[in-house]
Structure 1
């Protein structure tokens, strides 16, 4: 029970009266004898009768213990927190803190437990006991990173070198035996150039070496040598980094990989690299003993973006083909180097229309805006028999490009754009945009039914003069706009979109208002296709994350090169020729019908909202 008094913390209180002492002693005696049925109401009545008593800290501490024993944890927390909040300097405050820690631990509130002690000066013995309990609880829940963090706090309190080393060894054991790649990277990021980042780096180096991921192995060795130059492992690390080049060259055939792996686009570049590595793994599983490897270059490391350095790299390793880069401007830079080396270069991400003019060495396995416009227009006009379209597009260059390519594709198929309305990129309330669309539509083919209600007119029905609405752009904009379209009576007509919709946030934003909405993408992780399911399952197991479009497109790009190699193409020129002749190649990013002028032509992936879930419909 909470005291109605709101006196300042540890404020002066009245002397204890005989009545107060008698009431307290009786309740305490009942508690000591185990008679909680008498003790609890007695203490609760004490709080109500003597709201400013000097004995209140003792009463609340007793109540906390009694509630805890009865399993009334919420009331136990309230009572014990009252001791700490109102009487932090009382002799029983430390006891209450320990009791509250035990209650939080029983409730599984480990953060609450830590919050009682982290900013408290002194009390090292109590802290170490609690930290040990919390760390073990985290480890029992397999929350290993949190367990390490708490153990490191405990280690920081321990002055006895033997005990300190015991905690250190416990942390080392977790890092060496239990952490997966992603968690190891988190440890490195959190602890920088101090323990246990060194142990995490050593583990990562070994992991990448066994995997044959020599780019990442070399990266982590350099990281280790920079942060731990005097470490016992330093000599071995220097030996390992000196062996990497020769390890790469032991493979008879190399595939070059040139991606952004450390800068702004590193998450996408690393996902693409993961996809390539998985393709090679599958290839080697199907052909044991195949002498094929990767040689990887981080484009972000070359600040000058020098063609000469890239040419030297290609001349040194002599790959049979190259996968990358992701950006169109990087393809512009690298294409002349690839063309001069007569080396096929497959980009899994660049989307600029000009790529086909850069030479016969440039190939693209990436989804362009034109591809999406063609696919969604083909679906809408040819399959759904829709003819008239409204477009709501962001007022920016990409929005105008979406409008242009969709309009051209619709017109080619015999349809028409009846109205296109731009909206500011920063917009979240689309009322004005939707009203402009409706006003323009009502001047043409739209019909509205309005009823008079007193002095007000109310729209009761609106029949649009268009068959569907095309909403190019990101999930956050489309997700906000679709419910607002329904609010303004634009409903029960098809909604069409682009790959930007394919995020978990989209379904959360649209709620129940996007049933039947359809969009295009180049990859769908939820596909029931056996090849896609195998790819997604292996990717998750290997990298502890979901594959994205770049991972899928890079995976297929690598498989195209490996298929050429398996088919007998053993030189860069032969691989390039084999790629150009590709027909009917099944990939996780779509069925490739052919490769024409370097462009990988494939069947689009149509995704639709059905009963609140995304489903592939083709």
Structure 2
């Protein structure tokens, strides 16, 4: 997990450089203080850098270091030479000069910051133990400039070393002074860390080591959840009372407050403790259709050339509403309307459904072309709209618009997280079709790759109908070593491209792909060339890791005589979301439904475990898949 912090801003604080003409370099005399000559050379170096002649600046810094190693400018020259090597993506050379600085001038102010920069370089070199040593030393010093970044870098290193219990306190220390947007990103990483690596007992042990702030409050909340499950309600209440509820900026504070009320309430009698007759009476019964009051509107293209996609979503919704609605005591009617794939029709239908007071929310539209007009009308009418669209900015339209779908940005973030954290990739490139979709993925990859920690060395486009990729591959080869190559294209083009990557010399590179790679035909055509490939999708019908999938696939095939697609799966899970928001709350109005939907957290689904985020995006962990020799396979 990586955070987007500007680790290079120190250049603006530490470098104040200007340009002059260069001078011939005589053989170095014995080490001396250097006096005026060392100062003059240093001023030349500063001048060169200010005028963007980094090579000349570096040369003159090194002259001072070699000819006048004990001169007054020597510490600054060592530090700035190292920083220039960092800019040149040579962290090994940067470490050489940082180590020289801290050994020769341990008390110099530059030496203090050198320990931090050395830790960052060691991290880039994947020398995590050495990075931990340098960063811990830096943090032992008072009043350093980059303590927050050092804590977060240290958390990254501990995670790379699988020392997860050491990583969590570093997140807490690094996040406490950040702005809200940065803290949201840290909380996402912390949630993944806790979900995947730390249990309730671990959290209880770690809490005393954690700095106060948002991360420790979230950890208290997750530890209290564990205590409640263990029937230690008094301990949970005591822990939750330590949370600062005065300024709740994040969604989990509301949930923590509700958990506190639960923990402080008298323990309810369990169903097992009740008499058999009472247990039988408590079982939910599916109500008769006439008794069902709650209705959910559905807007899908059910005619025209996109009707096949609309029907797939509808089949999933129907199966899900039967299982999670009537079958679990949260029955709702589905009011189906055909958008015909027309934005104007979609907007009109939103208003028609909003005129029916029994309709609490609307699912759809499916097409991006219809999503914006529908969202605008839903916001005007104050009715929840759960969109099924990839349109990137659809959630900007207000408080009533949600999304449950697979987006390009979600895929890019998952791929970057896997390549950096699980595979240690550092140098990336993008090979993309030069069309609207390809350029979108190119831009999202550049925006989401942390440029302070990783390098995007090349972005090369090609004609979407290209069959000869020699020129594009040669452009990539010109940029040197590439650890991971992102190819956001369809499976047909990837099958043509993959053999040419190897033929033209781009070998031993991890290939990253998108959900349109998810066809067994790609494995049969080019599987031998894609053994190091990884891509993501929102659904995998052959998943063995997700126990929800196999029963859903079997029931869907029995009902509709075909295997379910991602669209059917997203329809099914959307019905589950609706049922969870409706269930157990009596009669809700539209605002009540919206509030209950926002509370949905860790809901099991065939597309993954779902949580409704503060931004009204339904969040989930995507399936990581690989191209096998004959078929697509689940990575983990």
Question: Which bin holds the TM-score, normalised by the shorter protein?
Answer: 0.5 to 0.7
Alignment correspondent of 1:19: none
- Tell me what 2:241 maps to: none
Gap change, CA 1:284 and 1:595, over 3 Å in 2: same
Contact 2:354 2:383 in 1 (8 A): no
Cα offset, 1:605, TM superposition: 1.5
By percentage of residues, which structure has more strand?
1
Preserved CA contact (<8 Å) 2:487 2:513: yes
Equivalent residues of 1:532, 1:588 under 8 A apart? yes
Distance in 2 between residues matched to 1:292 and 1:315, nearest whole Å: 18
Where do 1:272-287 residues align within 5 Å?
272-284=313-325, 286-287=327-328
**Aligned equivalent of 2:300:** 259
Whichever of the two has the greater Rg, that structure is: 1
Alignment RMSD (CA, Å): 2.2
Matched, 1:524 2:540: yes
Residues in 2 aligned to 1:354 and 1:547: alpha-carbon distance in whole angstroms: 28
Runs of at least 4 residues of structure 1 off by over 6 A?
A: 247-250
Give distance in 2, aligned partners of 1:293 and 1:593: 24
Q: Which residue of structure 2 lines up, in the alignment, with residue 614 of structure 1?
A: 632
Tell me the number of residue pairs that the alignment of Structure 1 and Structure 2 aligns: 347
Indicate the larger mover: 265-274 or 401-410. Answer: 401-410
In the alignment, the residues of structure 2 paired with residue 308 and residue 410 of structure 1 have an alpha-carbon distance, to the nearest angstrom, of 41
Question: What do the CA deviations read for 1:382-414 (whole angstroms, capped 9, x no partner)?
Answer: 211000012210011211111111122223572
Within 1, Cα distance between the matches of 2:613 and 2:383?
Answer: 16
Q: SS of the counterpart of 1:583?
A: coil
Matched-pair contact (CA < 8 Å) for 2:337–2:349: no
The one of 543, 547, 557 aligned to 2:560: 543
- The aligned counterpart of 1:238 is none
How do 1:2-401 and structure 2 match up within 5 A? 251-284=292-325, 286-287=327-328, 291-300=331-340, 304-305=344-345, 307-316=347-356, 318-348=358-388, 350-401=389-440
- Aligned CA distance change for structure 1 residues 553 and 583 (closer, same or farther; 3 Å): same
Q: Aligned residue for 1:62? A: none
Aligned to 1:418: 457
Q: Is the alpha carbon distance of 1:312 and 1:467 closer, same or farther for their aligned partners in structure 2, counting shifts above 3 Å?
A: closer
Separation in 2 of the partners of 1:567 and 1:415?
48
Residue of structure 2 in register with 1:533 after alignment: 550
| Residue 556 in structure 1 maps to residue 573 in structure 2 | yes
CA distance 1:329–1:302, shift in 2 (3 Å): closer
Deviation at 1:303, TM superposition (A): 8.5
Instruction: State the 1:554 CA deviation.
Output: 1.9
SS in 1 for 2:548: helix
CA contact (8 A) 1:323 1:558 kept: no
Name the counterpart of 2:76: none
Displacement of 1:516 in angstroms is 3.0
1:557-604 per-position Cα deviation (integer Å, ceiling 9, x unaligned)? 111011111131632221111111221122111222442221112212
Deviation for aligned residue 1:248: 7.7
Q: Secondary structure at the match of 2:310?
A: helix
1:468 aligns with 2:504: no
Partner of 2:603: 585
Q: CA deviation at 1:259?
A: 0.6
Measured against aligned partners, the alpha-carbon deviations of 1:525-584 in whole angstroms (never above 9, x if no partner) come to 111122011111111111111211221112111110111111316322211111112211
Could you say which residue in structure 2 is the equivalent of 1:596? 614
**Given the superposition, is the C-alpha separation of residues 413 and 402 from structure 1 closer, same or farther in structure 2, using an over 3 Å criterion?**
farther
* 1:249–1:362 Cα change, 3 Å: farther
**In structure 2, C-alpha distance between the alignment counterparts of 1:412 and 1:345, rounded to whole Å:** 36
Match of 2:242 in 1: none
Q: Deviations over 1:90-149 (max 9, x none)?
A: xxxxxxxxxxxxxxxxxxxxxxxxxxxxxxxxxxxxxxxxxxxxxxxxxxxxxxxxxxxx
Match of 1:508 among 524, 527, 533: 524
Distance in 2 (CA, whole Å) between partners of 1:383 and 1:434 is 26
Superimposed CA distance per residue, residues 4-51 of structure 1 (whole angstroms, 9 cap, x where no aligned partner): xxxxxxxxxxxxxxxxxxxxxxxxxxxxxxxxxxxxxxxxxxxxxxxx
Supply the distance in 2 between the matched residues of 1:516 and 1:406 (Cα, whole angstroms).
19
Q: TM-score, normalised by structure 1?
A: 0.53
- Distance 1:383-1:497 versus aligned 2 partners, 3 A rule: same
d(CA) in 2 for partners of 1:539, 1:572:
31
Unaligned runs of 5+ in 2: 1-287
Contact 1:593/1:603, CA 8 A, preserved across alignment: no
TM-score (norm 2): 0.52
Contact kept? 2:353, 2:359, Cα under 8 Å: no
Q: Is the 8 A contact 1:295 1:317 kept in 2?
A: no
Name stretches of at least 5 consecutive residues in structure 1 with no aligned partner. 1-246, 446-464
Write the distance in 2 (CA, Å) between the matches of 1:427 and 1:542.
41
